[in-house]
A and B are shown apart, each in its own frame.
Chain A
């Protein structure tokens, strides 16, 4: 009876801690960083959230990163505002921007906001370095914790390795 009651909680926790290979952790952290830095209340942020929960990435680390970077986001606002201002005021792109903006749901995207555009550009720019650095850190941590497993994280898929072993054994 009790297990029935706590099952949803257990599933939420499982979904948060699932996908814990260094690659998935790094991908979750990267997505969470971008979501955290973005202003909320627009379709871009919402789409990234949907993407986060759709992909096989670590949701727990992503949510934690989103919370942490949400708190730090305002500190980089002056920079991303200037960047967004430059990009959005680029005259050759005005017609394209206007076309997108005038589409249904165009204003809901919020890309006409300088900070949103700036953060999106910065997010895209830093996504791979963040991903790479996070993966390295995760691999290093896993090596310290479990030095027996050879070449762990080289492909970055520890769970698959274990599953493969299990399946082979079976």
Chain B
């Protein structure tokens, strides 16, 4: 009974203690959640959401659920998201106002997930807009465009109008009808004159004595007219000969035209580096920016220089006494990471560790290391080292990804020339270093089983290079692209080299050689056909003119000859002539 009474005495106290413990635990959970949200926003620069937090005093265990860290650069995206974060906190350091997480785990990690609410908050740091990378020889990107535009201009079929043969034919085309018209006019004028003369002569011959003087004058005019007729006839007969002479001159000009056209189709060599930049620069800028952004995020989370030891709003200054050592306020010895990521349009399961995260980082003797590897068909490995031990901040990022599946890609900036890369597999290797502000490193992508299909824009449709280019690129099986990065984190500079540029340049050279031969043949035959057509037409016109004028000329000439034949010089009436005309038996003969 005394035991029962004793039990009744301590049980309420025990229950009270339990309730107090649970209350403390609950309050600690709220405080921890608030602290994580505040310090997370300060660390990442974006809003941090925590679903709920649970603190176990007995186990020294903290569990956070549904943690989302907003991306400060993209407010409606999460930088990282985790389903469950568990931390085992060491008790001893807490007595010395330090938080040491001996081990922990973050499961259900996801990256770059969308979020419903904006991730900016009043406590967030303003995210610095990431400047785009600068490329070495940025202007070379324009060179292939200009080169292709030159190609369009030089392969223009209208260039045939600049052929000397065509010009001469056009001149002949203008001249011959003009000459024919002049000849026609001249013949008509001569015919009119002959007709007029004929009528005058006829009238004069009706009374020759009265028109004796006129008939005398006719005697001089008729030979001149006959000469004019002869000249006109000769000129008419000379027309075909003139055309023949022009034809010979045009044949000679045609040879010059071919030489001129071949000269026009001599192009400056297309630089492989410029072609690489033209084809790939735009496509790789965004991924390279993303990789460099990753370093910026690392620098944002672990700044190169820790801000003043006194937190904002603290009054006074904390003194470190002689004999005391500075220690990080927060130390995470090891975190096991597990989650999913999208690599090359494939969902990949990731496992990894984060070790030795400290704040301030310089107060811990080990650099922060992150290692992530994939499970499954796509081998992926990421290693990041963030070292703040020395005077200069040193960051390293290494990513290796084998068997990455690259989607169908279109290369090329303008509508002139585009290359379509069919889906292929590749190996991606990224090595980046950041010493202080100096950025260096390489990104290498090797693509295998590549299928490249060139497509030519409408402007270049007159240039027959597609088939030849297709043949040249059909032999390409693998491509290697390398981006060398230098400069600073604020102004990164990149140099792009790839097999693609030289391959396409070589293919383009061959295609262009074939296209030039084909184009020259086509243009020359086109010019020849045009010249022949015009000559045929001219000859037909000349023949028609001759057929038309020749009878007119002959008729008029006949009239003149007739005039010349009928013309009798008027004789003076003498007694002798009169007597001879008298009958023989005339008394006066």
Which positions in A face B, CB cutoff 8 Å? 39, 73-74, 77, 80-81, 84-85, 88-89, 91, 94-95, 97-98, 101-102, 104-108, 112-116, 118
**Chain B nearest CB, measured from A64 CB (Å):** 22
Query: Are A94 and B323 in touch, CB under 8 angstroms?
Result: yes
A152 to B365, CA, bound (A): 67
With A104-B95, A107-B96, A107-B97: A95-B315 Cβ-Cβ less than 8 Å: no
Using a Cβ cutoff of 8 Å, how many contacts connect chains A and B? 59
Query: Are A98 and B96 in touch, CB under 8 angstroms?
Result: no
B interface majority secondary structure = loop
Q: 30 pairs across A/B with beta carbons < 8 Å?
A: A39-B314, A74-B315, A77-B315, A80-B316, A81-B316, A81-B317, A84-B316, A85-B319, A88-B319, A91-B322, A94-B322, A95-B322, A97-B321, A98-B321, A98-B322, A98-B323, A98-B324, A101-B324, A106-B96, A107-B97, A112-B318, A113-B314, A113-B316, A113-B317, A113-B319, A114-B317, A114-B319, A115-B315, A115-B316, A118-B316
Is residue B320 within 8 Å, beta carbon to beta carbon, of the partner chain?
A: yes
A100 to B77, CA, bound (A): 48
* Chain B contacts for A94, CB-based, 8 A: 321-323
* Chain B contacts for A88, CB-based, 8 A: 319, 321
Complex interface residues of chain B between 295 and 350 (CB less than 8 A to chain A): 314-324
A77 to B316, CA, bound (A): 7
* Chain A contacts for B324, CB-based, 8 A: 98, 101-102
Query: Are B321 and A112 in touch, CB under 8 angstroms?
Result: yes
Residue of A nearest to B95 (CB): A104
**Chain B nearest CB, measured from A99 CB (Å):** 9
Residue of B nearest to A95 (CB): B323
A interface majority secondary structure = helix
* Chain B contacts for A39, CB-based, 8 A: 314-316
* Chain A contacts for B321, CB-based, 8 A: 88, 94, 97-98, 101, 112
Residue of B nearest to A107 (CB): B97
Q: Which 7 A-B pairs have the closest CB atoms?
A: A115-B316, A107-B97, A104-B95, A114-B316, A98-B323, A94-B322, A98-B321
* Chain A contacts for B323, CB-based, 8 A: 94-95, 98
* Chain B contacts for A81, CB-based, 8 A: 315-317
* Chain A contacts for B314, CB-based, 8 A: 39, 113
A57 to B321, CA, bound (A): 36
**Chain B nearest CB, measured from A38 CB (Å):** 10
A94 to B324, CA, bound (A): 10
A118 to B98, CA, bound (A): 24
A96 to B16, CA, bound (A): 40
Residue of B nearest to A91 (CB): B322
A94 to B323, CA, bound (A): 8
A112 to B314, CA, bound (A): 13
**Chain B nearest CB, measured from A41 CB (Å):** 9
* Chain A contacts for B97, CB-based, 8 A: 107-108
B95, B316, B321, B322: residue with the most chain A Cβ atoms closer than 10 Å: B316
**Chain A nearest CB, measured from B425 CB (Å):** 56
A105 to B91, CA, bound (A): 12
* Chain B contacts for A105, CB-based, 8 A: 95
A91 to B319, CA, bound (A): 13
A74 to B316, CA, bound (A): 10
Query: Are B95 and A112 in touch, CB under 8 angstroms?
Result: no
* Chain A contacts for B98, CB-based, 8 A: 107
* Chain B contacts for A97, CB-based, 8 A: 321
A108 to B98, CA, bound (A): 10
With A104-B95, A104-B96, A105-B95: A113-B315 Cβ-Cβ less than 8 Å: yes
A81 to B317, CA, bound (A): 8
* Chain B contacts for A107, CB-based, 8 A: 96-98
* Chain B contacts for A73, CB-based, 8 A: 315
Complex interface residues of chain B between 79 and 107 (CB less than 8 A to chain A): 95-98
